[in-house]
Structures are given as C-alpha cells and as structure tokens.
C-alpha cells in the first residue's frame, strides 16, 4: 500500500463512511440505501452572491431491495471499491480503464455489471457528488487536453518544470492537477489568459506575448476540460492572478466563458472548485468590428441554431447585466459572428501586438 497524503486519506474516509452507513442499515435489518443529490436542471440554481451555479438540496434515495435501483446501487459500490484500491496503491487510471476494471459477469448469469462505458461514467459522477470529492481525488482522469506557458515554475509529479522553457507546444496540462500532483513554485505572472483556440494560442506563444506581458497563456482547445479549468481556478485562488478569457464572438465562445466563470449545469456540484467568478471576458466582442475596423467579408452569418442559442442566453441569470444584454443583443441584431482569426485580416500579429494590448490598456472587458 502506498503512503497516503492528507487528501487521499480524507477521500478514503469518505468512501468508508459511505460503506459503513450501508452496513449499519443491513445489521439493523433495514433496506440499505444511498442518498445522492439530484443532478438535473430542476435541482440547479444560480447563486448571485457567489456568482456560481450550484446544486440545490434535492436528493434521491437509491435502495438495494428495489428492482429498478439494485443494479445502480451495486455499480456505485463497485466503482467506489475500485477507486479505494487505486488510492491505496497510489495509482491513477482513466475512466475508460475503470469501466473495464469493474466490468464482469454476475455469478453464473450472462448479465454484466456494466454493458457500456455510458453506464459507468454517470456512476462516477454519482459517487463524486455523494461523497463530495472531485473525480481527480478518486484517482481517475479523462484524456488530457490543453497547453500552458508563462513565467511560472511548477512541480509536476515531483519533476521541476520551468514553464518559460516549453518550446512551441507548451506544457501539456494533465487531467489531474490537484495539489498532490502539481505544485506552484516561483511566479512572475501578472495574470492568466485563457485562449479558446489552439491556433490562436500558438500565435501568442510564437510572438512571446507571455514574456512581454508577464502572463500565463493557456488553452483548452475549445471548451476547456476539467484539468484546464481546475488549473486556472487554482492559479486564480492560490496565486491571486486575474483571469481573462479570449474566445470567438459567437454563442459557443460566450458559453465557454460562462462555464469558466460560474460553472456548468452538468457539473454544478463542482463549481466551487472549477469556476472563477471574477473571470473577465476580453473578446472577441460584438462591437469590435467597428472599433478595430474589421472588413465585412470576415464575418460569418449566424444560422438558426446560433440565433436561438444567443436568445436563450439573454434569459440566463448570469447574463442579466445590462452590458452583457447589450453585447448579446448586438450579435442577434447584426446576425453576424466572428472568429478570433478574423483579426489576422489586420495583420498576422495584430491580435498580440495591438488588439489585446489595447483591450487591457483601456480595461475594455466584460465581467
């Protein structure tokens, strides 16, 4: 058994407490059950004070002696047992591996514990929310996706890494970036810039924007995966770095920003550990076409799905600020959207040398 750190010990204790509660029910002659917070839109609310999407207090009971619930009851403990084994061994594995680790036939039957990974993934989320532990604290990871560079030293699984010397590809952000894996060292960064697209991030890296500006640039290649969201949240909360978000001027870009800022409906139970309520949207804005003299032929016509999504966003509580209403309404009115690459029409390095420096100088962002 590996030596457990404080976080691992706490997570194991949570798993054991869950098991002990069921054992007490069995010994007491009662129908054992699990109590799991409901993960649905009906059980989600926006907390305006914290500026986070949160789960409400609705819970469901999953009983063992219930034909419709017994299998999921069993699956939950299969997954929790596998996670405890991983933690005890000091090893991590992918959610795909976990599916195979826990898949087997039930007794002499042809019935499997899990038929597809689509069955095991929701059980992992159930366990997370039931014991209030991140998936990463259960020693599980998804595929890593993201790159980061900047004036910061870190330790990754014991290896010292200088993020100033990561070449053209940057440091590959792993799925698990908790304190027991990634520790922050010396930092000269003034802020974090999250960039939606890898191609645009590469422009910022090649132009050494991060060295000139003393900032950390990170990309999640579209919607940031959990590892990227968590590392950005840690940089903000632990190092006190402001976070700016640079995305396309379309409903999807606005959604990426909103998920980083106050969390997502699907992962509302993790908002406190994933979201950055003070994150600032620094572009691309619906008003940048005129402000930065972009030619009309670089715009893209919004389709019906874009239009419907933008109008839907107008009703979201976190977009009720008048400035955001004006921003989204202008997109709907114009019927146009813009990719960050459209700024290259003004010059290959216009975005790094003129556009973003001016935005920062003028404090031209939305919150």
Q: Across the strands, what pairs with 140?
A: 93
The pLDDT > 90 percentage for the chain reads: 66
The percent of the chain in helix, strand and coil, each rounded to the nearest 5, is: 45, 20, 35
pLDDT score for 302: 93
What global pTM score does this model have? 0.86
For residue 337, which of 279, 294, 282 has the smallest C-alpha distance? 294
Residue 248 labelled as part of a binding site: yes
Question: Quick count: other Cβ atoms within 10 Å of Cβ 75?
Answer: 21
> CATH classification of 6-141 is 1.10.150.120, yes or no?
no
Give residue-wise pLDDT tens across range 221-241: 888 988 999 999 999 999 999
For residue 317, which of 365, 364, 265 has the smallest C-alpha distance? 265
pLDDT score for 213: 96
CATH of 147-362, one of 3.40.50.1820, 3.60.20.10, 3.40.1360.10, 3.30.43.10: 3.40.1360.10
Distance (Å, rounded) from C-alpha 164 to C-alpha 216? 9
How far CA 89 is from CA of 84, 125, 202, in Å, comes to 9, 22, 38
Mean pLDDT of the 357-366 span: 96
Q: For the chain, which residues make up each domain, given as ranges?
A: 6-141, 147-362
How far CA 337 is from CA of 194, 299, 318, in Å, comes to 20, 6, 21
Residues catalogued as catalytic: 100
How far CA 215 is from CA of 2, 198, 199, 311, in Å, comes to 37, 17, 18, 34
Q: H helices of 28-153, where?
A: 70-89, 95-102, 117-131
pLDDT grade for 3, boundaries at 50, 70 and 90: low
Mean pLDDT of the 75-80 span: 94
**1, pLDDT greater than 60:** no
Residue 341 labelled as part of a binding site: no
Report whether 130 contacts 148 (CB < 8 A): no
Distance (Å, rounded) from C-alpha 268 to C-alpha 225? 15
Distance (Å, rounded) from C-alpha 173 to C-alpha 144? 6
Number of H helices, E strands in the chain: 14, 17
Q: Which residue has the higher pLDDT, 149 or 27?
A: 149
Report whether 132 contacts 18 (CB < 8 A): no
Mean pLDDT of the 186-192 span: 97
Q: What is the mean pLDDT of the chain?
A: 91
């Amino acid at each position: 058994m590996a030596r457990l750190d404080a976080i691992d010990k706490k997570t194991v204790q949570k798993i054991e407490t869950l098991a002990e509660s069921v054992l007490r029910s069995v010994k007491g002659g009662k129908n054992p059950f699990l109590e799991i917070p409901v993960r649905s839109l009906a059980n989600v609310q926006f907390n305006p004070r914290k500026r986070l999407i949160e789960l409400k207090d609705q819970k469901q009971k999953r009983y063992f002696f219930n034909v419709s619930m017994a299998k999921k009851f069993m699956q939950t403990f299969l997954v929790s047992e596998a996670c405890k084994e991983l933690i005890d061994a000091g090893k991590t594995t992918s959610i795909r591996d976990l599916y195979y680790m826990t898949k087997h036939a039930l007794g002499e039957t042809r019935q499997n514990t899990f038929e597809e990974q689509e069955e095991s993934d929701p059980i992992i989320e159930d366990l997370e929310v039931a014991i209030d532990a991140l998936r990463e604290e259960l020693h599980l990871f998804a595929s890593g996706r993201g790159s980061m560079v900047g004036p910061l030293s870190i330790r990754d699984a014991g290896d010292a890494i200088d993020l100033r010397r990561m070449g053209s590809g940057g440091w590959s952000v792993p799925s698990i970036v908790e304190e027991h894996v990634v520790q922050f060292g010396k930092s000269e960064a003034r802020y974090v810039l999250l960039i939606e697209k890898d191609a645009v991030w590469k422009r910022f890296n090649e132009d050494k924007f991060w060295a000139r500006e003393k900032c950390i640039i990170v990309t999640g290649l579209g919607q940031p995966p959990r590892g990227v969201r968590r590392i950005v949240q840690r940089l903000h909360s632990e190092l006190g770095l402001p976070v700016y978000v640079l995305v396309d001027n379309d409903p999807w870009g606005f959604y990426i920003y909103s998920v980083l800022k106050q969390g997502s409906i699907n992962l509302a139970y993790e908002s406190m550990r994933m979201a950055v309520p003070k994150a600032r949207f620094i572009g691309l804005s619906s008003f940048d076409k005129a402000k930065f003299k972009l030619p009309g032929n670089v715009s893209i016509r919004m389709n019906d799905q874009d239009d419907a999504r933008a109008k839907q966003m107008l009703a979201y509580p976190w977009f009720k600020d008048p400035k955001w209403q004006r921003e989204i309404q202008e997109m709907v009115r114009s019927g146009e959207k813009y990719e960050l690459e459209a700024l290259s029409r003004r010059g290959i390095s216009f975005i790094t040398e003129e556009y973003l420096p001016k935005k920062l100088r003028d404090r031209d962002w939305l919150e």
